[in-house]
Structure 1
Amino acid sequence: MMTNPLQVAKKDMRRRIRNILLEVPREGVISQSALATTKLFSLAEYRNAKRISVYLSMPHSEIATRGIVQDALKSGKEVFIPHIHRVDGASMQSNVSVMDMLSLNSLEEFESLNLDKWGIPTLSDDNIPNKLNCFGGYGVSAGSTKTPGDGAGLDLIVMPGMAFDADLRRLGHGKGYYDNFLSRYWKEMERSTGAPRMPFLGEIFYTC
């Protein structure tokens, strides 16, 4: 099996960047998170958004999103957060797990989330079936029943990234969750509305 030079280069880049990010001091995480959050709040796309997706950050190596989630919920926005789950069948090509965006209903729920092995706040499996999916309907998208166009769509997605180049091309963590999600989002909106519109993508990151 031939090795893809681009994939090898990306893997090496991720390794080197991961080591750099781990060296960012706690004070740097706090100050850069505050700057990124303030910048996001200044955007009309954020202020006008009614339905947003926000990643929940690790305790290190990522811009902290706690303040974004808190502000969005206090402002009355509908907030959706990532939930990664395994799927059966070949409908998702070679992926064995996919990411959905499920509703986060309140500040109280946010504060009560348990941490996963990476320190990321995570929805309880018991609550998943009752969670509104950004694609419409409830629970995870694979195998769920959805009403086309009913409660579907997002206005803004706040995305993480390990690194960005000068043209803001994103290097993710390598799992392809966001690439897969955005592709599915386009197809689902096209199917359900006939006139797909992609949400505004807000990518926040450290400067080193």
Structure 2
Amino acid sequence: MAFQSAKRELRKQMRDTLGRLSATSINQQSSVATTKFLSLTEYQNAKSIAVYLSMPTGELSTTSIVKDALRCGKDVYIPYIHTVDKTSVMDMLALESMTEFESLQADKWGIPSLQLTQIPGRRNCFAGTGLDLIVMPGMAFDQGFRRLGHGKGYYDHFLTRYSKWSKKMPFLVALSLQEQLLAQDIPVAEHDWLIDAIVVGDGRYLVR
């Protein structure tokens, strides 16, 4: 299918591009993007947020966002991927404290993650009042607010589930390195969700 092969090719190009970025550049861009993100009214007014925990390389760091949200007393939820009926599913589960955040073990991609033993009794975002804002990861974004994920469909499936659970959707903010914001259109399917805003590593803020 031409559509799928176009996505695969774009992911390959992005992996090459992101693989060449220096840690210095990513750290600088993370600092600029975080400052911009923390100034957003949507973030400041949010009582509950979900935020991806960043990989060691190739994407903007969310560590300072997690710290600020916990310090401000917001409910913070992080991705937890598990298997339901032989299908891999992502839920957003509560992060209880900074101490817990700092003690998370890295998964096979180097992403800090909750362990199976930490799950029983933990709050799920679907068990409460829901989410006000989601910080979205991605491999690439475009000016039409399309997003290229890593190919697993976790976020699109999660958002579809969420839309059936609540009529009010969270504000979707992508964090993008300058190199991830493309001039070309990203190929998307009907089930691919558009994002509401993009914070770029050079301080730009694009809103739909």
Query: Scaled by the length of structure 1, what TM-score is found?
Result: 0.84
From 76, 94, 104, the counterpart of 1:79: 76
- Choose from 84, 104, 112 the match for 1:121: 112
Q: Which has the higher strand share?
A: 2
Aligned length: 179
Structure with the bigger RCO (C-alpha within 8 Å, sep 6+) is 2
Question: 1:58 maps to what in 2?
Answer: 55
SS of residue matched to 2:156? helix
The match for 1:19 is 16
> Could you say which residue in structure 2 is the equivalent of 1:37?
34
SS of residue paired to 1:130: coil
Aligned residue for 1:21, secondary structure, equals helix
Partner residue, 2:96? 105
Equivalent residue for 1:158? Answer: 135
Q: How far apart are the structure 2 equivalents of 1:34 and 1:168?
A: 22
Distance (Å, rounded) in 2 between the aligned partners of 1:103 and 1:110: 11
> Displacement of 1:48 after TM fit?
0.5
Q: 2: distance between equivalents of 1:83 and 1:124?
A: 9
Q: Which residue of 2 aligns with 1:68?
A: 65
CA RMSD between the two structures: 0.9
5+ residue gaps, structure 2, are 180-208
In the TM superposition, what is the alpha-carbon distance from 1:36 to its structure 2 partner? 1.1
Cα deviation 1:161-184 (Å, max 9, x = unaligned): 111112221111111000000000
Output the amino acid matched with 2:71. K
Instruction: Give me the whole-angstrom Cα distance separating, in 2, the residues matched to 1:173 and 1:158.
Output: 15
3-state DSSP class of the match of 1:98? strand
Distance 1:152 1:120 in 2: 27
Unaligned 5+ segments in structure 1 are: 90-95, 137-150, 190-195
Mapped to 1, the partners of 2:44 and 2:91 lie a distance apart of 24
> 3-state SS of the aligned residue for 1:99?
strand
1:72-130 CA distance string (max 9 Å, x none): 000000000000001117xxxxxx10100000000000001011111100112111122
Determine which structure has more spread, i.e. the larger CA radius of gyration. Answer: 1
Is 1:46 the counterpart of 2:23? The answer is no
Which 4+ runs in 1 deviate beyond 2 A?
A: none
Identity %: 56
